[in-house]
A and B are shown apart, each in its own frame.
Chain A
Amino acid sequence: MTTQHSPNPGSPALDPKIPPGPIQDRWDDHKFSVKLVNPANKRKYDIIVIGTGLAGASAAASFGELGYNVKVFTHNDSARRGHSIAAQGGINAAKNYRNDGDSIYRLFYDTVKGGDFRSRETNVYRLAQVSNEIIDQTVAQGVPYAREYGGLLDNRSFGGAQVSRTFYARGQTGQQLLLGAYQALMRQVEIGPVELYTRSEMLEVAVKDGRAVGVVVRDLVTGEITAHSAHAVVLATGGYSNVYFLSTNAMNCNATAVWRAHRKGAYFANPCFTQIHPTCIPASDEHQSKLTLMSESLRNDGRIWVPVDPDDRRAPNDIPEDERDYYLERQYPAFGNLVPRDVASRAAMRMIEQNRGIGPLKNGVYLDFGEAIGRLGRAKIEERYGNLFEMYERITDEDPYEVPMRIYPAPHYTMGGLWVDYNLMTTVPGLYAIGEANFSDHGANRLGASALMQGLADGYFVIPNTINDYLSDYLNTKPVPTDDEVFMQAVAQVREREQQFLDINGTRSVDYFHRRLGHLMIDYCGLARSREGLEKAIAEIQALKEEFWRDLKVLGTNDSLNQSLERAGRVADFLELAELMCRDALDREESCGGHFRVEHQTEDGEAKRDDEDYAFVSAWEWVDSATPQALHKEPLTFEYVPPSQRSYK
């Protein structure tokens, strides 16, 4: 194992600050025991929030309501457009409105198990606890959830659960929840405590005497670089699936904020834990810019298959039943098409590897509604999935009512992120990470409909109750002035880097490098990983990085709207993050959740966990550009849900 000890003895210990006592009482006890800031003193504090997705918008709005002074930044042109807006399926909560045996404990249990025993029990329990408050809060905000004829809230089911606990607003749950949070945020902008900066990208964190004291931001319209100081900085900047170039994430999602924070001392946890979602529309050609998700809910009625004969060139509807291989139903009779995401994705991958893929590029498998339409009628299927079928047809020009859908796994979500303690603070005091940007709750695999839950839990209910513990020590201290040396340096650093990009004057565009990086990552650090492949990837990423800094071509100037320049910075950071992901994957000699090391599988090809040696969070500490990160380990203990081998057969 490549464990190294921190070269910096002064670095903060990896203390998760888990409160003592029975798990049911920990969150309440903790809220009681942390230091408070009294209402009149809150306006003496400045807080910076980066990001206006679900996590950032909900946190900034809640801080404003409490009376803090808040500055919130987003690279989007409006706070209403964070990546969260694209979430389709729904949000989980343990309301047990169905009377089907759900409870906070069951949601907690399912999430720990779904995460393949690589998450922190205490955090997950809190998440399940506050899930119910999220539904109450968002209903009060006017989120138009689906309702039954009696006027009460409707639910649907999602993978990895045997109860019906998912709340939804048609196929647009993320959109509606984000609008709710955005509206709450705009109310605070109107009232006054919150100042919103759109088209503004954070490019550096300022750390003074070991504490986060502010950020450096680029105005994406004018190119102006400004420094902003505060008592605390909260990163709510989302996940890093775009390291794969092709993913289901929005085009502008990136890792720059968390990566810059990492380089300033925040440990990066479990970077190799990424989720590849089984049901996306396969790429049609080399020019494709992103992949589109087809909701998990489709697997309730759709049946997945490939032809038995790899050379079968017939149209799908001409292939008779007995010449189709419904491989999920065959391999996992108990769960069939509804196995969890990691399992379904790997099974599809194996089909493609065996050259049994379908479609013009042989890069998909069929998701077939023929049987369901026969059984339920077309109208029922239309009612359930109409909007998804339409979207599919618009993109592929094929009618899924007539011909089976073609689907394939695509990078979708990143469980890894900045390491945070129970208060959601990173290893840099005063610097917090919430939402997809942190690593905390999903272990090695996230269950459907629980990212929205986590983003809003963190933003509405957790951080407003934990940030005070840190702030209270700084009562009556002024934030570090923005003409302090630390800000001058950070601003200079940002300017210098921009100038470097413009000065390279090579021959290749940013996208050229990003695409190549994406290929490396999906091939070697995607659905299946091997020692050999990862070592090769690391070498190739290093070479690509060198080529990037030598042959990049960014036109234009830095004092204007320059999208190539924006992307150059993001891809430069992805190149570094990609290497860390591979090193983390290499270090973790086991398979768990979305991390599948081919060397560690059971006889029938399932993930083989190693609880003896790997029941820990990998937290990587930045050293310097010339030295690989140092690994720290946070041991994971399971007091309530004893680890077991997941079986879906």
Chain B
Amino acid sequence: MDLTLKVWRQASSETEGEFKTYPASNVSPDASFLEMLDEVNEHLNEIGEEPIAFDSDCREGICGTCGLMINGYPHGPQDGTATCQLHMRKFNDGDSITIEPWRATAFPVLRDLIVDRSPFDEIIQAGGYISVNTGAAQDANNLPVPKEAADASMDAAACIGCAACVAACPNSAANLFTAAKMQQLNLLPQGNPERYSRAVAMVETMEQYFGSCTNHGECEKACPKNISIDFIGMMNRDYVKAQFKFTARDAQNKGK
């Protein structure tokens, strides 16, 4: 198939970007979207134009490295599919395809289609873990975990941190990511001791970088792993309770 690509080109975070148009000819419908871009890059290199920079690693939809805005949709038209797992048979001969990086103030463009998603790491750093040092654990089966809890935790833990949720949100909110990462731990007995301090730390760090959630639900639709928006509700409840707990404790401490 023959396609026309409109691709965002930007030399660095300091420079202005612009769309450039490139033909992609003789594309195999069995090629993945990124393989199609690989081919375009080979051609650009040949004619002396610098290849289009884009991120990818596992190309199996699990590492979360890739992520392109394709015709205005994060990861393109196929539901539950990361960019690397999208195949060209989902497009038609003669199509024109617009390719952009994630757009969010929290994610500056580093070059072309590559953005800096490090605020996600900061949210984890703030409290997205269980505080247990190596070697300090008891036998794994000493603490049974109800299967439903383990399964729900796994549903949340399936998040690949690609940030499509932020790209899809009109407010550039990161609530789906933050909620998934928080509930993965809060749903387990192991995560319970730090449940409320974790909620406060993660939410407040999130708020430093990202917009507010106004329940559009675009995040859930864009998520390549179909993470449920219900986790946001759970996060909100934990956060509200946490504030109550902390305020009560702060008050107590003051009274002393």
What does the 1/0 interface line of A135-176 toward B look like (CB < 8 Å)? 111011110111111111100000000000000011010011
For A184, the chain B residues whose CB sits under 8 A away are: 129, 132, 134
- Nearest-CB residue, chain A, relative to B112: A561
Known: A77-B117, A555-B48. A139 touches B137 (CB 8 A): yes
Does A86 lie within 8 Å of B129, measured CB to CB? no
For B28, the chain A residues whose CB sits under 8 A away are: 284-285, 287
CA distance A50 to B95 in the complex (A): 44
Does A461 lie within 8 Å of B134, measured CB to CB? yes
Does A140 lie within 8 Å of B128, measured CB to CB? no
Closest Cβ–Cβ distance, residue B157 to chain A (whole Å):
5
Does A85 lie within 8 Å of B190, measured CB to CB? no
- Nearest-CB residue, chain A, relative to B126: A190
- Nearest-CB residue, chain B, relative to A559: B12
For A196, the chain B residues whose CB sits under 8 A away are: 121
Is B221 an interface residue, CB under 8 A from the partner? no
Stretch at the interface among A333-341, A390-398, A466-474, A595-603: A390-398
- With an 8 Å Cβ cutoff, the count of chain A residues facing the other chain is 79
CA distance A504 to B224 in the complex (A): 41
8 Å CB contacts to B: which residues of A549-564? 553, 555-556, 560-561, 563-564
Does B57 lie within 8 Å of A391, measured CB to CB? no
Does B51 lie within 8 Å of A62, measured CB to CB? no
- Nearest-CB residue, chain B, relative to A135: B140
Does B63 lie within 8 Å of A147, measured CB to CB? no
Is B110 an interface residue, CB under 8 A from the partner? yes
Stretch at the interface among B145-153, B234-242, B243-251: B145-153
Does A172 lie within 8 Å of B32, measured CB to CB? no
CA distance A141 to B130 in the complex (A): 6
For B85, the chain A residues whose CB sits under 8 A away are: 391, 394-395
8 Å CB contacts to A: which residues of B13-60? 28, 30-32, 34-35, 38-39, 41-42, 45-46, 48-51, 53, 55-60
Does B153 lie within 8 Å of A80, measured CB to CB? no
For A212, the chain B residues whose CB sits under 8 A away are: none
Closest Cβ–Cβ distance, residue B212 to chain A (whole Å):
24
Known: A136-B137, A169-B154. A560 touches B56 (CB 8 A): no
Closest Cβ–Cβ distance, residue A289 to chain B (whole Å):
5
What does the 1/0 interface line of A162-204 toward B look like (CB < 8 Å)? 0000000110100110010011101101100000101000000
Is B131 an interface residue, CB under 8 A from the partner? yes
Known: A183-B124, A289-B59, A391-B85. A136 touches B132 (CB 8 A): no
Does B60 lie within 8 Å of A391, measured CB to CB? yes
8 Å CB contacts to A: which residues of B131-182? 131-141, 143-147, 150-151, 153-154, 157-158, 160-161
8 Å CB contacts to B: which residues of A506-556? 507, 509, 511-512, 553, 555-556
CA distance A287 to B87 in the complex (A): 13
- Nearest-CB residue, chain A, relative to B160: A175
Which of B41, B60, B150, B160 is the one whose CB lies under 8 Å from A292?
Answer: B60
Does A144 lie within 8 Å of B117, measured CB to CB? no
Known: A78-B121, A81-B63, A394-B87. A176 touches B157 (CB 8 A): yes
Does B158 lie within 8 Å of A561, measured CB to CB? no
For A251, the chain B residues whose CB sits under 8 A away are: 56-59
Does A464 lie within 8 Å of B134, measured CB to CB? yes
For A250, the chain B residues whose CB sits under 8 A away are: 57-59, 63
Does B132 lie within 8 Å of A141, measured CB to CB? yes
Does A394 lie within 8 Å of B130, measured CB to CB? no
Is B114 an interface residue, CB under 8 A from the partner? yes
CA distance A472 to B135 in the complex (A): 22
Which of B62, B135, B141 is the one whose CB lies under 8 Å from A153?
Answer: B141
CA distance A186 to B119 in the complex (A): 13
CA distance A114 to B171 in the complex (A): 54
Closest Cβ–Cβ distance, residue A459 to chain B (whole Å):
9
| Count of A-B contacts judged by CB separation below 8 Å | 215
- Nearest-CB residue, chain A, relative to B152: A144
- Nearest-CB residue, chain A, relative to B127: A190
- Nearest-CB residue, chain B, relative to A140: B137
8 Å CB contacts to A: which residues of B39-91? 39, 41-42, 45-46, 48-51, 53, 55-65, 81, 85, 87, 89
For B145, the chain A residues whose CB sits under 8 A away are: 147, 151
Does A80 lie within 8 Å of B134, measured CB to CB? no
Does A511 lie within 8 Å of B124, measured CB to CB? no
8 Å CB contacts to B: which residues of A59-89? 61-62, 65, 76-81, 83, 85-86
Is A105 an interface residue, CB under 8 A from the partner? no
Closest Cβ–Cβ distance, residue B5 to chain A (whole Å):
16
For A285, the chain B residues whose CB sits under 8 A away are: 28, 30-31
Does B130 lie within 8 Å of A183, measured CB to CB? yes
For A509, the chain B residues whose CB sits under 8 A away are: 41-42, 45-46
Does A76 lie within 8 Å of B57, measured CB to CB? yes
Is A221 an interface residue, CB under 8 A from the partner? yes
Does B157 lie within 8 Å of A553, measured CB to CB? no
Closest Cβ–Cβ distance, residue A134 to chain B (whole Å):
9
For A97, the chain B residues whose CB sits under 8 A away are: 141
Which of B35, B118, B158, B185 is the one whose CB lies under 8 Å from A289?
Answer: B35
For A284, the chain B residues whose CB sits under 8 A away are: 28, 30
Is A288 an interface residue, CB under 8 A from the partner? yes
Does B137 lie within 8 Å of A288, measured CB to CB? no
CA distance A542 to B151 in the complex (A): 53
Does A144 lie within 8 Å of B58, measured CB to CB? no
Closest Cβ–Cβ distance, residue B107 to chain A (whole Å):
11
For A83, the chain B residues whose CB sits under 8 A away are: 57-58, 63
Does B39 lie within 8 Å of A287, measured CB to CB? yes
- Nearest-CB residue, chain A, relative to B48: A555
CA distance A79 to B63 in the complex (A): 11
Is A252 an interface residue, CB under 8 A from the partner? yes
- Nearest-CB residue, chain A, relative to B131: A187
Does A146 lie within 8 Å of B150, measured CB to CB? yes
CA distance A76 to B51 in the complex (A): 20
Known: A95-B140, A152-B144, A555-B48. A397 touches B153 (CB 8 A): no
Does B59 lie within 8 Å of A397, measured CB to CB? no
For A152, the chain B residues whose CB sits under 8 A away are: 141, 144
Which of A287, A391, A460, A553 is the one whose CB lies under 8 Å from B61?
Answer: A391
CA distance A77 to B64 in the complex (A): 10
Which of B51, B146, B157 is the one whose CB lies under 8 Å from A555?
Answer: B51
Is A290 an interface residue, CB under 8 A from the partner? yes
- Nearest-CB residue, chain B, relative to A171: B62
- Nearest-CB residue, chain B, relative to A198: B118
Is B9 an interface residue, CB under 8 A from the partner? no
8 Å CB contacts to B: which residues of A363-416? 391, 394-397
For A169, the chain B residues whose CB sits under 8 A away are: 154, 157
Does B132 lie within 8 Å of A140, measured CB to CB? yes
A sample of 21 inter-chain contacts (CB < 8 A) reads A62-B134, A78-B121, A80-B121, A81-B161, A95-B141, A139-B137, A144-B188, A147-B151, A148-B147, A151-B144, A152-B144, A187-B125, A187-B131, A285-B30, A285-B31, A287-B39, A391-B60, A396-B30, A460-B134, A461-B135, A561-B111
Q: Top 6 closest A-B pairs, CB basis?
A: A151-B144, A183-B129, A140-B137, A136-B137, A144-B154, A139-B140
12 extra interchain contacts, Cβ-Cβ under 8 A, other than A140-B130, A184-B129, A391-B60?
A78-B118, A78-B121, A79-B121, A140-B136, A140-B140, A142-B130, A142-B191, A153-B140, A184-B132, A190-B125, A251-B58, A395-B85
Measured CB to CB, the residues of A under 8 A from B are 58, 61-62, 65, 76-81, 83, 85-86, 95, 97, 133, 135-137, 139-142, 144-153, 169-170, 172, 175-176, 179, 182-184, 186-187, 189-190, 196, 198, 221, 250-252, 284-285, 287-290, 292-293, 391, 394-397, 460-461, 464, 507, 509, 511-512, 553, 555-556, 560-561, 563-564
